Every structure is written in C-alpha cells, then in structure tokens.
Amino acid sequence: MRKIASTIVCGLALLVLSGSTALAQLPEFTELAKSAGKAVVNISTVKTVDQSQGVEEFFNRFHRRGGPFEDFFDQFERFFGPQQMPKRQQRSLGSGFIMSRDGYIVTNNHVVEQADKITVNLQGGETSYQADIVGRDPETDLALLKIEVDRELPVLEFGDSGEMEIGDWVMAIGNPFGLDHSVTAGIISAKGRVIGAGPYDDFLQTDASINPGNSGGPLLNTDGKVIGINTAIIASGQGIGFAIPSDMAKQVIAQLKKYQKVKRGWLGVTIQDVDENMAKALGLDAPKGALIAGVRAGDPADEAGLKAGDVVVSLNGEPVEDADGLTRRIGRMEPDTKANMTIWRQGKVKKIAVVLGERDTAQEEARAEQPDSEQTSGRLGIVVRPVRDEEARALGMDEARGLLIQDVEQASLAAEAGLRPGDVILAANGQEVETVRGLSQILNEDAAEKGAVLFLVNRKGQNLFVSIPLTDGDGQ
C-alpha cells in the first residue's frame, strides 16, 4: 500500500510540474498592454448624410406606371409634393495608432471616408485633437491622418508580418462598441486570406476578438510590434477577424505620406488562375501561375511582348502561385520599375522584362461607366462585360462578340453550373447577347418566366450549352 501511495504522490507531483511548465509557456500581456496602449487612439467622425436619397429610391422603386401603387403615389405627390428629407449628422467610432512622435496616425479608410470632422482622442480621453487626412487608399482600406501636437507622442513600430506563423500569439487593442482601449488576445489562425474586400486581399486571420470600433487598431506580436491593422470581421462568425499585414501596410502608408496617394504598378493584362485541365492543355506540370487572357494594346505588357496564352510562373525570381498573387505583387511595385518575369509559352520557358506603368484608378472608373465596360453581378453570381476586339483571338473567336465572364462568385448558381472566368456568353435562351443590359432583360423577362436560362457559351474556341435553374423565378 505504501508503494502504491508513493507512486500516486509522485504521479501527482509530475502532473503539477508539467502543468506549471505549460502555464509558464503562456505569454504575459500585462506589460505589453500598458506600454502599447499609450499609442492607440480613439477616432470619432461626423459626416453629413442625405436622407432624401433613400426616400427617392423608395419612390422610384414602387412608383411605376401601370404598377399596383401608381394611384397611391400620384395622390401622395399631388397633396404633399416631392419629398425632401433634412440632412442629418452621422457619428461613428473607430481606432488607430500613432506611428510617429510628431502626430502621424494610421487607421482604416472606411473609418474616415467622407467624414466632415475627425477627432482623435488619446488614451484616457483627456486630450483631443482635430485630425486632417493626409491620404487614403480605398483598395487596401488604409488611411493616414495627422494631428498637430506640441509634444512628443508615444508610438508603435511596424513589425514583419512575413515572419508570423500560424499559431503565433497576438494582441489587439481598440475601441470596440465605443469601449475605450479594450485589449484582446489570441493567435494567428491563417495567413493570405482573400475575403473579397478588394483586389489586394492578403489578410491575416486571427481569433483575437475584433468587433465594430476595433477597425484601424493595431494587431501586435509579443514584442509589441504592429504586424497587422485590424480591418474586418465576419458578422455571422465568432472568433474570426482579419487584419491587413504590416508588410503591405508599411508600403502603402509610406506612399500616402510621400504622395498623399498610392502609386501602383500596372501591366495592362487580363489574368486568371490555371486549373488542372488548363495545365494539362498547356503542358504545365502543375496548375500554378497566372494565365494571361488578354493584353491591352499600348500598355506595358503589350510593349514588352507578352501575349494572350502566356502563363506567368515567376516574378523577380519568386514563384507566382495564382492570379491574385500576381496582382498583389505588381500592385506593390512602383511605376517605372522593372518586373522580370518568367513565362510559359507554347511549351517553352521564356524570360521577359516589363517596365511597369502606373495604374490609373480614376481612368478605370471612367472606363467602367462606358458601355464597353458595363458590368453586372447579380443572383447568378457573375461579372460580365462585352468582349473587346483585341481579346477575340486570344479567346478563340473570329470576331469580338458576346459577353466575357470576368468573375464567378463561389457557391453561386453560375459556379454550380460550371461557368468560369474566361467563358464568353454568346446567347441566352436562344437570343444573342451583346450588352449587359440585353442580358439583364432576358434574365428578368423570358428566363424568369420559364424558371431557367440556357446559355450558349464559347470556351477557348469551343461552343457548349450551360443551363441554370432559377429556383425563385428571379434572374437577378
């Protein structure tokens, strides 16, 4: 009995020792919260909201000639006249952190976008400053502010997000729901997340609690360095937050400080991922790289000799895994720099150097408003536009006609039916389609009535039919 009792006591002692060892390995956030919290700020904004726009949209939606509410709205407008709602002041809260002792502050673009007044409150809320926007970058959701101060401020330094591993401990500081300087801790859950926020998605995912009001606040490693800027959450999920990696943020913030905007490299190509069937057809060993589907005449890629059908397999000596990866890396390079590419062309490796141009967002937006660049993204889950002349040959067509599918949403009706980027819709329910407006009309009328749409699709020069059921009778 004594031997058994002695064995039990020894076993318990080992458990206590092993437990204390495990506890000793847990990170200690107390000092980090004290020191880092001094450089985290509360950002409150005021912007003017025009309430008349919502009322106008409501009237336009239901006040249709021949509609069931026509008489009601006619009488309403006759007695009360056009409805004008007063403008109101909308307030919102966010977070940020001080990056320089003279008052430069990093936050999210969506925290300060369209703000008429920006107030920065330092820790404790005793000191407030009016802030000016130095620059904004909607595509990465980053903004740089400046406050005028007569003393040196506490700061946080950027760390290296590339060194972070899945499972590393992190701490988030912010102002969730207006609760000043809240601290949460967790781990890096994943890296390189694409959540559809923009063309340069490359988020860190963390289970450190991030809530409304945390936006723009820092995600810190255990050394107290900023390795991410807290930006997004999934409303339906718990323990899932996303942060812009510091390696991207450092470049964007530096350009905002220098130019008040971000200058991005530009190739002038349409690219897509390489799937397994494409890899086989192209003679590639694996479905990797970025397939060039179209080259815009006169742009840098065209001048360097890139062609539709080329697959970019490496950039500046680093492998290119997919189209998103190439887009992000080109976007991080400045205009007029040289991009050294290795491409796969007709079974052979070829090296091409491209001097990048500058991406003109304003020009792209203006082009998108023209009929040639109309887009639609509806219930089918596709984004389309008319095929351009310079793309027809690369798409396996004798002439430019139909609508090119640029994007297909995951788990959408189009995706389930097998449609993919690069397909060209030639006809819908037996009717040729040349414009987005024409396609929308077929979907809303003939297809909605029949409960299904039958597309004639050109895929790399081969025609095929694809049918999609519209279960609720609504093509959009």
Tell me, yes or no, if 110 is annotated catalytic: yes
Q: Binding site annotation covers 232?
A: yes
**CA dihedral (351, 353, 358, 360) positive or negative:** negative
Cα dihedral 332/334/335/337 (nearest 10): -110
Helix (H) or strand (E) holding 300: helix 300-304
214 is annotated as contributing to ligand binding: yes
Q: What is the DSSP letter of 152?
A: P
279 is in an annotated binding site: no
Nearest to 248 by CA among 358, 132, 172, 159: 159
Say whether 301 sits in a helix, a strand or coil.
Answer: helix
Q: How far apart are CA 391 and CA 401, in angstroms?
A: 10
Is there a binding annotation on residue 301?
no
233 marked as part of a ligand binding site: yes
Give me the catalytic one of 141, 201, 273, 423. 141
Residue 22 parent element (H or E): helix 2-25
Q: Is 231 annotated as a binding residue?
A: yes
Q: Is 215 annotated as a binding residue?
A: yes
Angstrom distance (rounded) from CA 337 to CA 354: 8
Enter the DSSP assignment of 103: S
Active site residue 141: yes
* 66 annotated as a binding-site residue: no
Angle (deg, nearest 10), helices 246-259 and 323-332: 40
Active-site position among 161, 215, 314, 412: 215
Catalytic hit among 110, 201, 310, 412: 110
Residue 213 assigned as binding residue: yes
Identify the three-state secondary structure at position 463: strand
For 205-231, the DSSP string reads EE-S---TT-TT-EEE-TTS-EEEEEE
Sequence ranges of the binding site for substrate = 110, 141, 213-215, 231-235
Residues involved in catalysis: 110, 141, 215
Sequence ranges of the binding site = 110, 141, 213-215, 231-235
